[in-house]
C-alpha cells in the first residue's frame, strides 16, 4: 500500500504513528488540520501513545476523524468472529470519551455507521463543542450498563449457541449430500471456520476476489482459496458467507449464482439461509 501511495504522489512514512513521531512531524512544521484514522485505533498496542500523538500533531482548530468498531454492536449482535489477534481494543463511547479527555482532546460528534457490523465515526478536536449525538450515546450506554461486567456475561453463551447451530446446520446439509463452499477469505472467516471446526470434509473450497489470496489456504483448516468464478463452474448447493458484514454486496455480486438455485448461509447474528 505504501508503494502504491507513493506512485500516485502521496508521500508515505513506513512507521508506526506514536507520540515520538508526532513530535518529530510537529517540529518539522507539519501539524495537521485533519487527521484520518479509519479502522486503525483498534489495532494499536499503545492506545494512549497514539492518541497523545494526535493531540500533539493536530492544530488548535483541527479535527481527527477516527473510525472504530463499536463494542455494543459486537456484544448485542454476537459478532464474536471480530475478536482476533489484530484487534486489541473494543471501544465504547464511555471509554473513548475518557481516553480523549485524558490527552486534552474532546469527542465532539459521533456517527453510528453500519460498516464492519457496526462502527463509530468519531470527530475529535482540541476544543470542546460536544454535540447531542455524543451525549445521546453516552446516556444509552449508562442505561444499558456498558461499563458494567454484567453487560458482557451473556455473550459467551450466545457465542456457544451460534457454534452449535452452525455445526448442526452444516452437518445436516452434508448428511443430505449437499455440497458447501464459503465466500470470503477474511480474518473473521478464519475465526469462524476454526471455531465451528469446519474443514474440507464440510467446506469444499473458499472463494475470494483478492487475487493475492487465491491459490492459498485458510489458516488452521487448510481449505483452498479460489477465484469466485468457481461458484458458477462447480455450483455448490450452499455458500457460507464468512465476511457477513458485506453480505448485501456479496449477494448482489452473485445474483447469477442465486438465479441458478444457489443458496447462501449467513452465520451472524444467527444462522439463516437466503
Band of pLDDT at residue 172, cut at 50, 70 and 90 = very high
Q: Write the pLDDT tens digit of every residue in 1-31.
A: 788 889 999 989 999 999 999 999 999 999 9
Q: Write the pLDDT tens digit of every residue in 231-244.
A: 999 999 999 999 99
**What three-state secondary structure class fits 219?**
coil
Confidence at residue 2, expressed as pLDDT on a 0 to 100 scale: 86
Rounded to whole angstroms, how far apart are CA atoms 139 and 141? 5
What's phi and psi for 197, nearest 5 deg?
A: 60, 50
Confidence at residue 121, expressed as pLDDT on a 0 to 100 scale: 98
Query: Where are the strands (E) in the chain, listed by range?
Result: 32-38, 58-69, 106-113, 119-125, 180-183, 206-207, 225-226, 238-241, 263-266, 272-273
Please, what are the domains in the chain?
2-152 (3.40.50.150), 163-273 (3.40.50.720)
pTM here is: 0.84
Amino acid at each position: 500500500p505504501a508503494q502504491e501511495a507513493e506512485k500516485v504522489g502521496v508521500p508515505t512514512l513506513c512507521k508506526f504513528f506514536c507520540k515520538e513521531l508526532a513530535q518529530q512531524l510537529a517540529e518539522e512544521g507539519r501539524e495537521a488540520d485533519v487527521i484520518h484514522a479509519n479502522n486503525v485505533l483498534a489495532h494499536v498496542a499503545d492506545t494512549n501513545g497514539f492518541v497523545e500523538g494526535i493531540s500533539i500533531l493536530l492544530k488548535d482548530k483541527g479535527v481527527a476523524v477516527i473510525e472504530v468498531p463499536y463494542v455494543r454492536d459486537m456484544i448485542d449482535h454476537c459478532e464474536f468472529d471480530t475478536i482476533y489477534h489484530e484487534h486489541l481494543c473494543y471501544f465504547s463511547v464511555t471509554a473513548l470519551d475518557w481516553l480523549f479527555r485524558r490527552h486534552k482532546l474532546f469527542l465532539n460528534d459521533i456517527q453510528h455507521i453500519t460498516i464492519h457490523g457496526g462502527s463509530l465515526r468519531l470527530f475529535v478536536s482540541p476544543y470542546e463543542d460536544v454535540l447531542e449525538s455524543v451525549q445521546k450515546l453516552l446516556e444509552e450506554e449508562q442505561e444499558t450498563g456498558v461499563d458494567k461486567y454484567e453487560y458482557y456475561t451473556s455473550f459467551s453463551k450466545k457465542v456457544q449457541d451460534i457454534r452449535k447451530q452452525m455445526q448442526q446446520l452444516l452437518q445436516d446439509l452434508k448428511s443430505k449430500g449437499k455440497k458447501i463452499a464459503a465466500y470470503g477469505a477474511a480474518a473473521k472467516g478464519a475465526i469462524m471456520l476454526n471455531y465451528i471446526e469446519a474443514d474440507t470434509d464440510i467446506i469444499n473450497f473458499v472463494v475470494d476476489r483478492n487475487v493475492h489470496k487465491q491459490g492459498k489456504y485458510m489458516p488452521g483448516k487448510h481449505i483452498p482459496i479460489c477465484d469466485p468464478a468457481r461458484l458458477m463452474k462447480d455450483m455448490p448447493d450452499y455458500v457460507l458467507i464468512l465476511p457477513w458484514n458485506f453480505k448485501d454486496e456479496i449477494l448482489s455480486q452473485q445474483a447469477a449464482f442465486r438465479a441458478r438455485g444457489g443458496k447462501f448461509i449467513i452465520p451472524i447474528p444467527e444462522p439463516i439461509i437466503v
